Amino acid sequence: MLAKIKTQPMKNPDSPSIASPLFNAVLQCMCIATAVAITSSLSPAAWGLEKSSVSIQQPLVHLRNQEPREWASFPQQPDAQQLDLQFEATANSTPFTLTLTQSDVKESWTVSLNSKPLGQLVRDENKLQTDFLIPTGLLKTGKNQIEISCRKNAAADDIRVGQMSIHCTSPEILRGRSTLQLAITNPNHIAIPGRITLTNQLGTLMPIGTKSGNGLAIREGVVYTTTGEASITIAPGEYRIIAGRGFEYSAASTMIKIAAGETVKRTLVLERQVETSQWVACDTHVHTVTHSGHGDCTIEERMATLAGEGIEFPIATDHNKQIDYRPIAESEGATTHFTPVVGNEVTTRHGHFNVFPTIANGKTPDHQLLDWSKLFENIYGTARVRVAILNHARDLHSNFRPFSPRHHLSLTGDNLDAWQQRFNGMELINSGAVQTDSMELFRDWCGLINHGLHVTPVGCSDSHDVSRYIVGQARTYIKANDRDPGSINVDAALDSFLKGRVIVSYGLMVQLEVKSTDATASHGPGDTVSISPRAASTDSTMLDVTATVMAPHWSHPSEVQLFVNGVPRFTADLRSNKKTNQSFETTVKWQIPLEEFPHDAWLTAVAQGTGIQSPHWPTAKPYQPDSPIFESRTFSCTGPIRLETDGSGKYESPRDYAKQLIDQTPIDAETGKPDLPVLAQALTKYDEAVVNQTLALLLDQDIEPSQLIAAGVGKRGRAFELQWRQATQARIEQRE
């Protein structure tokens, strides 16, 4: 059906409501009747603007610019490829407004009236209402036509659009009739920065008359305020207002009904629900349209969004630029809320890397370099740079995917092109570009840690926008003094970051502590815990592992897991612990006999939950989905805790063990290669992470996984063998 529509002007027999409804006379009469100014009285007529607007199309229509279906939440068949709507009207002698409701808009869709573009749909998957100015004289007396169509060659995009009406007044007047004076405070009545979300009763984000400026960043249904106060104008009507302040705070909501000419005042009180003292809230990946040239958030608006989401340590990472937020933070009055760091998203054809700190407007790393050895040499040779994060490693940019099976073995962290992996951080959650499989990058990271690399796990937002993707939604908590967010010690925070003293947070926060029963000190992410072999041989010695999961009342944790060498070992179900409308904090304790760690290992905790639905903090759909089926998940994990249990005096990674085992294996006189049955026998004392690393190292000697598997490793080598086969296939096909 769709193919037919593609090749001819849209006439959809299945959707008579959008085919050619002629609203003859209706619009004409209404407009004439209401050309006079709207009454400012509080009469019921004023609530809904009945007299000043007319609906030209009611139901939401499902459009798909091209196959295939983008999301399984849409029907198999769309209503049409584009919308063509005809209606009758009379010529407008003053500016009018076209208002419509849209959702799931990802690509560039243009709205035209009588072949003149009015503008584009807002590129935002959230359901929102938006306005288009109809210039004087564009409406014709008689037949008029609205067209909504997607840019040619755009990726497949399923959208919904409808609830279209024309108002006989300009957007400024329409959204300027009523005034809302809002304040966000803490329980001590002190104003705090935050985000105000304005929806109708159905949860649709509603247009706001006021424009950004004076410490406010404003989009459809969204107002970020640096001061905690906001005076905005809106159309009369009924609204739901939700105030929030990012992950750590409660959300407060209220309903209002406001008439034309009326001013309504409300104060919404937020409480801190997630205790994060000594953990600095960092977003390592922040853009502005001012310096990156895409998205919509200006550098001034960025200050309000950072303050409003409670980010204390933002890294400015525009593409191949080094921008200092500080002067703008000063002019916007935001300096007490965060300590900005100058960084750079080194955007190469072989991957994107967030590097910091850098010198504002100073010499940038050479983003033309393709060879990773030269690139990292260049990056770390750039003045001040200490951190280089591998960004969105599973996404395709410039036809290159860093962690494509063509280049990378996920299980063992091997680069198949023998490129140096000198990044010291890696994005596990990029909330602006989440993965269909929310654990995929986590597993990739486990491979790197098993490989013996020191790579700090990172959560970040990659936000280019005010509201489409929320800045700081995924974030990294860094162990450092955060008493004064306006003057965080950058060096100390980066020391901590590089040691892995971090918690990745995306709607949840998990803390992990490890203590052996014969020691007093407890250890956290980034630490190496030494347990003497003597103690290890004592029956009573146990490892006390404590995971604490925290979340605000609007986030819903489902489970927490303890991973050992990248494999889940224990799982605790958290669903019954959550009480509606209360913040969440649950501690899970595991006591593990030390015999269960016959060799060194590393731990991390992972918490997961259901994606956030609340309009004040909705989690996004994948940027480059692998599947039309998607279930949004929240996530948190910790930096690694390394356990030194074998008495060697230093922590050894699975890679280290694999090297030692191969070195110790006698050479088979016949093949001139390690005696595989002997090696397989030695591996029985080691876990699967060591087996995988051994299999990876043997590839260098042209020993295939199947050979060691046949020599005695058995099914413990199958997962690696499968990945290696897939990699071989991807390399033959040159498939990213």
- Smallest gap from Cβ 288 to Zn ion, in A, equals 11
The distance of closest approach from Cβ of residue 474 to Zn ion in the complex, given in angstroms and rounded to an integer, is 13
Q: Which is nearer to Zn ion, 353 or 651 (CB)?
A: 353
For residues 577-608, one letter each, b for 16 or more C-beta atoms within 10 angstroms of the residue's C-beta and e for the rest, the string is: ebeeeebbebebebebebeebebbbbbbbbbb
Q: Total residues at the site for Zn ion (CB under 5 A)? A: 4
How far is CA 626 from each of CA 48, 394, 469, 629, rounded to the nearest angstrom?
43, 11, 20, 9
Nearer to Zn ion, 321 or 451 (CB): 321
Cβ distance to Zn ion smaller for residue 82 or 391: 391
- Amino acid of residue 438: S
Those residues with Cβ within 8 angstroms of residue 344's Cβ, 6 or more apart along the chain or in another chain: 317, 318, 320, 321, 322, 354, 355, 356, 358, 364, 365
Torsion of Cα atoms, 465 then 470 then 473 then 475, to 10°: 20
Residue whose CB is less far from Zn ion, 570 or 623: 623
382-441: which residues touch Zn ion (CB under 5 A)? 391
Site for Zn ion in 176-205 (CB under 5 A): none
Taking the least distance from each CB to Zn ion, the nearer of 332 and 462 is 462
Shortest distance in whole angstroms from residue 34 CB to Zn ion = 47
DSSP string for 16-36: HHHH----TTHHHHHHHHT-S
Per-residue binding letters, 297-336, with Zn ion (x by CB under 5 A): ----------------------------------------
Residue nearest to Zn ion (CB): 352
In the complex, least distance from residue 316 CB atom to Zn ion, rounded to whole angstroms? 11
Q: Tokens for 261? A: 């000419």
CA dihedral angle for residue 323, residue 325, residue 327, residue 329, rounded to 10 degrees:
170
Beta carbon of residue 112, minimum distance to Zn ion (angstroms, whole number): 32
Report the relative pairing of strands 387-390 and 425-430 from DSSP bridges: parallel
339 vs 430, which CB is nearer to Zn ion?
Answer: 430
Rounded CA gap, 538 and 593, in Å? 10
Distance of closest approach, residue 464 Cβ to Zn ion, in angstroms: 7
What tokens were used for 592? 């593990």
Is 105 within 8 Å of 159 (Cβ atoms)? yes
Q: Which helix (H) or strand (E) holds 180?
A: strand 178-185
Cβ proximity to Zn ion: between 74 and 623 the closer is: 623
- Per CB under 5 A, contacts with Zn ion among 631-650 are none
Whichever of 212 and 391 has its CB closer to Zn ion, that residue is: 391
Bridge partners, residue 150, by sequence: 109
Identify each DSSP E strand in 375-499 by its residue range. Answer: 387-390, 408-409, 414-415, 425-430, 456-460, 474-479
CB of 379: closest distance to Zn ion in angstroms? 15
Considering only the stretches 268-276, 364-372, 460-468, 626-634, report the one whose residues sit in contact with Zn ion under the rule CB under 5 A: 460-468
> If you compute the radius of gyration of the chain from its CA atoms, what whole number of angstroms results?
29
Kindly state the smallest distance separating residue 433's Cβ from Zn ion, in Å.
8
CB of 343 to Zn ion, least distance (A): 11
Nearer to Zn ion, 321 or 556 (CB): 321
Q: Which stretch binds Zn ion (CB under 5 A): 77-85, 458-466, 609-617, 705-713?
A: 458-466
State yes or no: residue 104 binds Zn ion (CB under 5 A): no
Q: Does position 462 bind Zn ion by CB under 5 A?
A: yes
Residue span binding Zn ion (CB under 5 A) among the ranges 126-134, 358-366, 456-464, 478-486: 456-464
- 246 is written with which tokens? 């990012």
Q: Specify the residue, 398 or 664, whose C-beta has the smaller distance to Zn ion.
A: 398
CA distance 454 to 409: 17
Pairing status of strand 641-644 against strand 528-530: parallel
Instruction: Please identify, using beta-carbon distances, which residue of 358 and 391 lies nearer to Zn ion.
Output: 391
Positions 329 through 358 that interact with Zn ion (CB under 5 A): 345, 352
352 or 599: CB nearest Zn ion: 352
Minimum CB–partner distance for residue 37 and Zn ion (Å) = 47
Minimum distance from residue 385 beta carbon to Zn ion (Å): 17
In the complex with Zn ion, the residue whose CB is nearer, 160 or 352, is: 352
Q: Shortest Cβ distance from residue 637 to Zn ion (Å)?
A: 21
Site for Zn ion in 254-283 (CB under 5 A): none
CB nearer to Zn ion: give 217 or 390. Answer: 390
Residue 219 is a binding residue for Zn ion (CB under 5 A) = no
Contact 149, 118 (CB under 8 A): no
Contact 53, 30 (CB under 8 A): yes
Rounded CA-CA distance 546/249 in Å is 24
Cβ-proximal residues to 457 (8 Å cutoff; 6+ apart), any chain? 425, 426, 428, 442, 445, 476, 500, 502, 504, 604, 637, 638, 639
The nearest distance, CB 365 to Zn ion, in angstroms, is 14
Cα distance between residue 290 and residue 292, in whole Å: 6
d(Cα 63, Cα 70) in Å, to the nearest integer? 11
Residue 65 or 344 with smaller CB distance to Zn ion: 344
* Nearest-approach distance from CB 297 to Zn ion, in angstroms: 12
Binding letters toward Zn ion, positions 10-49, x by CB under 5 A: ----------------------------------------
**Per-position DSSP letters for 138-167, written without gaps between them:** -S-SEEEEEEEEEPTTPPP-EEEEEEEEEE
CB atoms within 10 A of CB 152: 8
Q: Can you tell me the distance from the alpha carbon of 266 to that of 241, in angstroms, rounded to the nearest whole number? A: 9
In whole angstroms, how close is the CB of 407 to Zn ion at the nearest point?
Answer: 17
Binding site for Zn ion (CB under 5 A): 345, 352, 391, 462
